Amino acid sequence: MTTSSAPGKVYLFGEHAVVYGEPAVPCAIERRARVTVDP
């Protein structure tokens, strides 16, 4: 069994602008995403 987690992320602004090469302001939050894989 393998378990992994990563911090959540929110974009304060610019989420859709990054596809056009423009800057965005992401910020990590205290919520985590967890995944467990059992072969």
pLDDT score at 32: 95
pLDDT score at 16: 94
Type of residue numbered 22: E
pLDDT score at 17: 93
- Rounded to two decimals, the pTM is 0.56
CB 33 within 8 A of CB 3: no
CB 4 within 8 A of CB 34: yes
pLDDT tens for the chain, residues 1 to 39 = 999 999 999 999 999 999 999 999 999 999 999 999 998
